[in-house]
Amino acid sequence: MGKRLDRSQVEIQFLQYGSQLSIKIITPSLVIRSVTKDDSNNYCKLFSNSDVMSKYANGVPISDSKKINTRLDGWVQRWSTNDPFNALAVFERNSSKFVGSVVIGRSNQTGIAELAYLFHKEFWGKGIATEAVSALINHFAVELIKREYMLDGDYLQAITATTRIDHIASQKILESVGLKTDKGIVDVKYGAERFIYNITAEQLCENNSTNFTWKTSTISIGVAALLLGVGFLAYRHYTRGSNATLAFFSSKNQTDPNSSYPTFSGLGASTSPVYGSSASN
């Protein structure tokens, strides 16, 4: 079983081009990035695998590629409208092999995100799932709170997840990243008894030692935005008359051998590494 990642182990890039948002998260073993249409084959293999799907949703693999691609298209559409409450594809950093999927999506409650994840069997029991989920919950979700992204008209208030009562491995993953449950309360979902796990936005910020106040981050974000603006003007002055793409990279990313992972890019796009500079949404 893997451990929760600390801040020094995670790098998150927000890449914005118009309304198109793309995310790339780099951890010691993984590269996690926004889902694209090019992921169709990967997701068809994942959702059609009976072992992978045995305790997910209703436990039935999905062999209809049209259904899978419809779901994929929905995620891609969300990314095109600057919606980070969405699906991300997970790859092994060294081999570039597709590992699985993590989703921080919508629930049936305003301001409440629902967590879901699936991983290929060959990566089970290696701490990979915990690493990916920790990156998503303990770092990416915290950054969404910091940037004040809205979820159905409200700030992110909490993250919820359900897991079958016989899915011990999944329960350990959720507990390792800070979600809590009352095992005396059981819900029935997709025809199976499930535990309900939750963590509030306030708990996320407290647990991960953030230097901002939940839902009241205007001052700290404003200062960071001012500094980022000064850097932007300096860069524009330096590159005046050129067609250089505006990009802010951390020193770690400048030499990252995994920069070939698919992500959105183009003239005029800008990236913003999280731990060093940030701007409100």
CATH, residue 211: 3.40.630.30
Query: Is 196 domain-assigned?
Result: yes
Please report the pLDDT score of residue 209 as a whole number. 62
Query: Is 209 domain-assigned?
Result: yes
Q: Give the whole-angstrom CA distance, residue 238 versus residue 175.
A: 49
Please report the pLDDT score of residue 1 as a whole number. 58
Domain that holds residue 237: 7-273
Please report the pLDDT score of residue 239 as a whole number. 41
Query: Is 161 domain-assigned?
Result: yes
Instruction: Going residue by residue through the chain, which has 281 residues, state the pLDDT in tens, using 9 for 90 and above.
Output: 578 999 999 999 999 999 999 999 999 999 999 999 999 999 999 999 999 999 999 999 999 999 999 999 999 999 999 999 999 999 999 999 999 999 999 998 999 999 999 999 999 999 999 999 999 999 999 999 999 999 999 999 999 999 999 999 999 999 999 999 999 899 999 899 999 999 999 999 988 765 444 443 332 334 334 334 434 444 444 444 433 322 222 323 333 333 333 333 322 333 455 542 222 32
Size of the chain, expressed as the number of residues it contains: 281
Q: Is 218 helix (H, G, I), strand (E, B) or coil?
A: helix
Q: Give the whole-angstrom CA distance, residue 176 versus residue 136.
A: 13
Single-letter code of the amino acid located at 238:
Y
Query: Is 35 domain-assigned?
Result: yes
Phi and psi angles of residue 231, each rounded to the nearest 5 degrees, phi first:
-60, -40
Query: Is 2 domain-assigned?
Result: no
Yes or no: say if 134 and 207 are a contact pair by the CB < 8 Å rule: no
Query: Is 166 domain-assigned?
Result: yes
Q: Give the whole-angstrom CA distance, residue 20 versus residue 40.
A: 19
Query: Is 1 domain-assigned?
Result: no
Please report the pLDDT score of residue 37 as a whole number. 97
HEC secondary structure over the chain: CCCCCCHHHCEEEEEEECCEEEEEEECCCEEEEECCHHHHHHHHHHHCCHHHHCCCCCCCCCCCHHHHHHHHHHHHHHHHCCCCCCEEEEEECCCCCEEEEEEEEECCCCCEEEEEEEECHHHCCCCHHHHHHHHHHHHHHHHHHHCCCEECCEECCEEEEEEECCCHHHHHHHHHCCCEEEEEEEEEECCEEEEEEEEEHHHHHHHCCCCCCCCCCHHHHHHHHHHHHHHHHHHHHHCCCCCCCCCCCCHHHHCCCCCCCCCCCCCCCEEEECCCCCCCC
Q: Which 8-state DSSP code applies to residue 137?
A: I
Q: Give the whole-angstrom CA distance, residue 26 versus residue 55.
A: 28
Please report the pLDDT score of residue 158 as a whole number. 97
Please report the pLDDT score of residue 273 as a whole number. 53
Number of domains present in the structure of the chain: 1
Query: Is 218 domain-assigned?
Result: yes
Please report the pLDDT score of residue 27 as a whole number. 98
Q: Give the whole-angstrom CA distance, residue 113 versus residue 116.
A: 10
pTM: 0.76
Please report the pLDDT score of residue 210 as a whole number. 53
